Amino acid sequence: MATSSTGSSDIALSTETIKSTNKLAFWNFVVAFAAFALALPMGAYQVLERSGMFPALENAAVYYASTSTHGVLMAYVLSTFFIMGFGYHTAVHSLKQTLWSPRFAWIGFWISTIGVVLAALPLLTGHASILYTFYPPEIAHPAFYIGAAMLVIGSWFWCVIMVISTVQWKKANPNKPVPLIMYGTVLNALLWLWTSVGVAAEVVFQLIPMSLGWVDSLDPGLARVLFSETLHGIVYFWLFPAYLVMYTIMPKEAGGKLFSDEFARIAFLMLFIFSVPIGMHHLYMDPMIAAGWKLLHMFGTFMVAVPTLITGFSIIATMEIAGRLRGGKGLFGWIKTLDYTNPVVLASTLSLLMLTVGGWGGVINAAYSLDALIHNTQWIPGHFHLIYGGTTVIMYFAAAYWLWPKITGHQLFSNKLVLTQLWLWFIGMWITTMPWHYLGLVGQPRRVDTVQAYQQAEELVRSWDFSMLIMNFGALILLVSGLLFVYILFMTAREPAISKADREVSYAEAIHPPLHVPTLLNSLAFWNWAMLIYLIASYGYPILQFWFIGTPESPAWGI
Amino acid sequence: MSIHIDPLEKKWIIMSAVIILLSWLLILYYASVENIHPPSNVEVIDSARLHLPSGVGGGEFTEDKLGLRKEPDGTLVVTMVAARYGFYPQHIKVPINTPVKFRMASFDVLHGVLIPFSNMNTMIVPGYVSELTTRFTKLGDFPVICDEYCGLAHAYMYGMIKIVPKNEFKLTSEAH
């Protein structure tokens, strides 16, 4: 590494700093992957139960407790803890400075962890079977909402540390571009702060008071609008680190360089600004929002496709550079020469393939006039399992395989098994989600524990049979693959130690590493103001309206 | 200060912009010319008092008003209540290729309504009236499915709709 875009690569981190960061990253990952390991068999159970082919499994109460727990653990716990662990590691190693207050980070970790345990108790005992979107006026046990709020509040500690670390670095390195991976990480922290406001307001002002009996009614319409403010930004909060692995780790692993640093920054900023104020496309089918607002959010929703299109271009171009450096010739020859035995390269490739199809499905969901076809059908779980479970989580696996030896000091257990695991996840995800997309198109609703109940529509129900059979195989493959992932991490602890050089952390460089970037591509303050204005414009009136349209409120209902 | 943008990137940006612009125009066309909008009537109602003639929005959803009726201008209107765990009325019969207006309200929690192979799909949020107008284009019996989780027996919540040829359709009960 002759020159560095940060100009600070010569600064060595103290062993003490590296050790304490590794510990922080490790324990965040442990919670993340423990949640994953617990939620995974539940997912498989739900598929088998719902298929109706195993009557012994059928039980609505267990199914909805399982679905609620699976959703909370996968979508909130796995993602948040993975992102926190990865972010702490990134902040220290990319900025080459000590973490601002590891103590503060541990406080956040414990608040979130205790929150998860608190929420898990009612979830597992069937007292919070309201699904991970917890739509009132059905009300769960208060411990569920308090636990969920603690998880979010703990994650804000992480956000604060990411922002302070970046600001400190910018002060010490005036006019230098923030390292690309850190710029993305801090934007993601800010994205999460902005987007979690909606759900936090819903939980703190509506759900906790209602579940404790402090108030006896609420407006479910307001609750849905507040939740929608979180519901789309959160998806990009999960996806962002997956993109960061592709932009800043994959190029080097593939043996090449990133196609463009500036283009990546533009994509990150667009992800930040366009992913939050567009959540109302989740409410297209809701009666309490006027059509004009939905149309407005439709425009923004399509805009968020742009950074994904940019990412697709940049990552494929980056792979092409690596493939050609490895001797690939001709228009497509470079595809063959890429090193698919490298977990990060393989996962990035498979992730992009899933993103292409999943993203196309997302465009259907975003289409103002097409949404009625698929809203709340099985298409929707098909879509988000492909995008989150597939595209995103496979990159979490890749990041874990890349990081685990560095933070534990042990050689990764069996690269062959690692590749098998990634392939199985990819194959299992297609076999599970393709039937779901199809079932949605032919009218199967999501969130039902059985489809055998629609007896009078026998012909329709029979037409679902084949897809319902196929999905079982997909779910079992995913179960095997997911367990294999956890097994590999476990077994790595028994492997021989690796050298200090192999534990070095460095990130990919662009072909033209920028020495300076325009202020707008390096700033945070400007974009926060832009976000505030955009949010007020898109959510101001739709939230305010609930104070004067005079909705008669709803009482609490049990499950 | 300028930034380095590769010529290939410039082409890709233009392509992306064209894709987004075309998508917007297509949706705007269907919204403005074909008048396709999601159900969005923003109309409040007291869900806890649907059965009473008084209160906010009261009277429209009392038991005797539920079902299909014809408005003075000839529009067919279905007034329907969603409540755990069913749609009331449970059976509806409407003619094919005829606009039918649905007016729906929840008696308790969140529900949704989905009729396969049609664009009948909306949320039913307590406190609000859901209204949408649609035309059915396939003959036969279809389930009217609740498509939002509403409790442990959610999967059992459905009604039936029969789409019949226009000449076989006769309104049995007159407008109230």
- How far does CA B15 lie from the centroid of its chain? 36
- How far does CA A374 lie from the centroid of its chain? 22
Q: Please indicate whether, in this complex, the C-beta atoms of B123 and A285 are within 8 angstroms of each other.
A: yes
Tell me the pLDDT tens digit for each residue of A68-97: 999 999 999 999 999 999 999 999 999 999
pLDDT value for A513: 86
Q: Compute CA distances A494 → A329, A487, A497, whole Å.
A: 42, 12, 9
Catalytic residue among A70, A93, A232, A282: A232
Q: Which two tokens stand for residue B160?
A: 């039936």
> Which residue among B30, B147, B152 sits closest to A369, beta carbon to beta carbon?
B30
CA angle B80, B81, B82 (to 5 degrees): 125
Residues of B in contact with A559 (CB under 8 A): 151-152
Tell me which DSSP letter residue A546 carries.
G
Computed over every residue of chain A, the mean pLDDT equals 94
Backbone angles phi, psi at A337, to 5 degrees: -90, -5
pLDDT value for A5: 42
Q: Using 50, 70 and 90 to split pLDDT, how confident is the model at A552?
A: very high
Q: Using 50, 70 and 90 to split pLDDT, how confident is the model at B57?
A: confident
| Nearest residue of chain B to residue A549 (CA atoms) | B44
| Nearest residue of chain A to residue B145 (CA atoms) | A445
Residue A9 has pLDDT above 50, yes or no: no
Distance CA A245, CA A471 (A): 30
* Distant-in-sequence, close-in-space partners of A14: CB < 8 Å, separation ≥ 6: A98
3-state secondary structure A472-537: HHHHHHHHHHHHHHHHHHHHHCCCCECCCHHHCCCCCCECCCCCCCCHHHCCCHHHHHHHHHHHHH
Tell me the pLDDT tens digit for each residue of B134-150: 999 999 999 999 999 99
For A336, the 3-state DSSP assignment is helix
Q: Using 50, 70 and 90 to split pLDDT, how confident is the model at B172?
A: low
Catalytic residue among A324, A375, A410, A446: A446
* Distant-in-sequence, close-in-space partners of A171: CB < 8 Å, separation ≥ 6: none
In a 10 Å sphere around its CB, with 0-12 CB exposed, 13-18 middle and 19+ buried, how is residue A548 labelled?
exposed
Residue type, A218: L
Residue B1 has pLDDT above 80, yes or no: no
Q: Using 50, 70 and 90 to split pLDDT, how confident is the model at A2?
A: very low
Task: Report whether A266 contacts A206 (CB < 8 A).
Answer: no
pLDDT value for A318: 96
Task: Report whether B145 contacts A445 (CB < 8 A).
Answer: yes
Tell me the pLDDT tens digit for each residue of A382-439: 999 999 999 999 999 999 999 999 999 999 999 999 999 999 999 999 999 999 999 9
Task: Report whether B135 contacts B102 (CB < 8 A).
Answer: no
Backbone angles phi, psi at B60, to 5 degrees: -70, -35
Best CA proximity match to A476, nearest among A30, A43, A11, A8? A43
pTM greater than 0.90 (yes/no): yes
Residue A313 has pLDDT above 60, yes or no: yes
Residue A497 has pLDDT above 60, yes or no: yes
Task: Report whether A282 contacts A225 (CB < 8 A).
Answer: no
Q: Where are the domains of chain B?
A: 1-37, 47-168
CATH 3.40.640.10 fits B47-168, yes or no: no
Residue A315 has pLDDT above 70, yes or no: yes
Q: Which two tokens stand for residue A322?
A: 């690596």
Residue A543 has pLDDT above 50, yes or no: yes
CATH of domain A23-547: 1.20.210.10
Q: Please indicate whether, in this complex, the C-beta atoms of A260 and B5 are within 8 angstroms of each other.
A: yes
A385 is an active site residue: yes
Tell me the pLDDT tens digit for each residue of A251-279: 999 999 999 999 999 999 999 999 999 99
Q: How far is the alpha carbon of A353 from chain B, nearest alpha carbon, in Å?
A: 18
For the segment A478-496, the average pLDDT, to the nearest whole number, is 96
Buried b (16+ CB within 10 A) or exposed e, A66-97: bbbbbbbbbbbbbbbbbbbbbbbbbbbbbbbb
Catalytic residue among A324, A447, A473, A546: A447
CA angle A66, A72, A278 (to 5 degrees): 130
A447 is an active site residue: yes
> Which residue among A221, A306, A451 sits closest to B127, beta carbon to beta carbon?
A221
Beta bridge partners of B104: B80, B130
pLDDT value for A8: 45
3-state secondary structure chain B: CCCCCCHHHHHHHHHHHHHHHHHHHHHHHHHHCCCCCCCCCCCECCHHHCCCCCCCCCCCCCHHHCEEEECCCCCEEEEEEEECCEEECCEEEEECCCCEEEEEEECCCCEEEECCCCCCEEEECCCECEEEEECCCCCEEEEEECCCCCCCCHHHCEEEEEEECHHHCCCCCCCC
pLDDT value for A134: 87
Residues of A in contact with B128 (CB under 8 A): 221, 287-288, 551
B76-83 and B100-106: which strand pairing? parallel
Q: Please indicate whether, in this complex, the C-beta atoms of A368 and B44 are within 8 angstroms of each other.
A: no
Share of chain A above pLDDT 90, in %: 92
Q: Please indicate whether, in this complex, the C-beta atoms of B143 and A61 are within 8 angstroms of each other.
A: no
Best CA proximity match to B116, nearest among B146, B152, B142, B98? B142
